[in-house]
Amino acid sequence: MQEKAQQGKLGIIAGAGVLPARLIRFCQETERPFCVMALKNHAEKEKLPQDCKIQWVRIGAVGEAYRLMKSQQVTDIVMIGSVRRPSVREIFPDWMGWRLIGKVGLGKKGDDGLLRRVIYEIEKLGFRVRGIHDLMPELLAPAGVWTEKQPTLTEQSDIRRGFLTAKLLGMADVGQSVIVQNGLVLAVEGIEGTKALIERSKALRRKGTGGVLVKTMKPCQETRADMPTIGVSTVESAFEAGLKGIAVEADKVLATDVEGIVQKADKLGLFVVGVSETEMLSDKLVRLMSETVGEIADTADIAGVMPSGKADGATKRTKSTEPQNADAHKKSEKKRSRKK
């Protein structure tokens, strides 16, 4: 459903990549009022439209950003585009930035836990944080094989192994992607990002063919920021690394340009496929993972960084995972009650 202008002015906080420009064009085409704040040293000027006003701010200038958004009468905020996780020295925060750092604690959380807390603090200031997929659901990766080439049986097995590995990795709020070749997990994503992960895998590939990049959403993912994303450049990087294809979690990963991705993959002879959790994992394993996520939420700050009763917006999940996480919390509470 397209957003209408009367729904409020949208503040776009732009990082790197092509998605900020996609969102700006969407607002222009649907006549939704918006303003753009591009993050210095992160957003790419050459990829942003030249026909709209763009305010450039430092990532640590929280007070300046807040005043700008208020002066523009912004009601909703979308944070879109990749942002390299900075150190405190790189941020050079203003007074309001120091207050935010004190509340968030940069070194104490994974990316998802950090973003979850940042979103909570933004909403305390009176804004509503939205995910780009709320406005542009067409960006979500479709299910099924996208390309002319299809994965072989061996590659399908690699996708399943990679899917499970990526989910387990995500439960620890570490990364979203893995590379698997003939059943062997070659590399897992850390703070370096997917492009560097693919580059690193070149030196780790075994003799012979194969190698699949698998990208999923973390089980505890804050979907309003930092959703896993692929684009044409992902296909190019995978080809250069000698990989044979890419598998993404359908409806949980953003695809910046499905048509462009398919054209590039067909030209290079790679497959691209969208798969679901129900396809890749058994019901028993899904339940076990969901219960474990509940236990983690009770004992760690991956899903429990919000004050009690304040995380309604940040805990929004897809229909398939929300009830499972809720059930997991109830089960963990019952277990503790029995122990007492």
pLDDT per position as a tens digit, 79-112: 999 887 766 666 777 788 777 777 766 555 556 6
pLDDT per position as a tens digit, 165-178: 999 888 887 889 99
Q: Which residues contact 202 (CB under 8 A, 6 or more apart)?
A: 240, 241, 242
First and final C-alpha spacing in the chain:
49
Q: pLDDT: is 59 or 271 the higher one?
A: 271
Do 72 and 122 reside in the same domain of the chain? Answer: yes
With respect to residue 163, please indicate whether it lies within any of the assigned structural domains: yes
The answer to whether residue 314 scores a pLDDT higher than 90 is no
pLDDT of 243 reads 95
Do 270 and 225 reside in the same domain of the chain? Answer: yes
Distances in whole angstroms, Cα of residue 105 to Cα of each of 94, 96, 97, 100, 307: 16, 14, 12, 8, 15
Q: Which residue has the tokens 């959703």?
A: 227
The answer to whether residue 336 scores a pLDDT higher than 70 is no
Which of these, 131, 129, 135, lies nearest to 26 by C-alpha position?
135
Which domain covers residue 287, as residue numbers?
283-339
Output the domain CATH number for residue 269: 3.40.140.80
> What total number of domains does the chain contain?
3
Do 313 and 235 reside in the same domain of the chain? Answer: no
Do 145 and 269 reside in the same domain of the chain? Answer: yes
Do 111 and 236 reside in the same domain of the chain? Answer: no
pLDDT per position as a tens digit, 43-71: 999 999 989 999 999 988 888 999 999 99
Distance of CA 130 to the CA centre of its chain: 13
Taking residues 225-247, what's their average pLDDT?
Answer: 94
The answer to whether residue 252 scores a pLDDT higher than 50 is yes
Do 256 and 179 reside in the same domain of the chain? Answer: yes
With respect to residue 64, please indicate whether it lies within any of the assigned structural domains: yes
The answer to whether residue 253 scores a pLDDT higher than 90 is yes
Taking residues 274-282, what's their average pLDDT?
Answer: 90
Reported as a pLDDT band with limits 50, 70 and 90, residue 5 is very low
How many CB atoms lie under 10 A from the CB of residue 284? 8
Distance CA 58, CA 77 (A): 17
The answer to whether residue 301 scores a pLDDT higher than 90 is no
pTM attached to this predicted model? 0.79
pLDDT per position as a tens digit, 201-232: 988 888 877 899 999 998 878 888 878 999 99
Reported as a pLDDT band with limits 50, 70 and 90, residue 293 is low
Q: Are 298 and 329 in contact (CB under 8 A)?
A: yes
pLDDT of 108 reads 52
The answer to whether residue 324 scores a pLDDT higher than 80 is no
Q: Where among 115, 135, 155 does a domain terminate?
A: 135
With respect to residue 1, please indicate whether it lies within any of the assigned structural domains: no
DSSP string, 100-148: HHHHH-GGGS-HHHHHHHHHHHHHHTT-EEE-HHHH-GGGBPPSEE-SS
Do 199 and 85 reside in the same domain of the chain? Answer: no
pLDDT of 266 reads 98
Taking residues 12-38, what's their average pLDDT?
Answer: 95
Q: Are 162 and 180 in contact (CB under 8 A)?
A: yes
pLDDT of 307 reads 40
Length of the chain: 340
* Beta bridge partners of residue 177, listed in sequence order: 215
Distance CA 290, CA 107 (A): 26
Q: Is the dihedral of CA 130, 134, 137, 143 positive or negative?
A: positive
Q: pLDDT: is 127 or 281 the higher one?
A: 127
Q: Where among 262, 280, 298 does a domain terminate?
A: 280
Distances in whole angstroms, Cα of residue 168 to Cα of each of 162, 209, 227, 275, 314: 10, 26, 17, 17, 21
pLDDT of 320 reads 40
Q: Where among 78, 103, 135 does a domain terminate?
A: 135
Do 84 and 170 reside in the same domain of the chain? Answer: no
Do 55 and 26 reside in the same domain of the chain? Answer: yes
pLDDT of 182 reads 93
CA 126-80-227 angle, 5° bins: 105
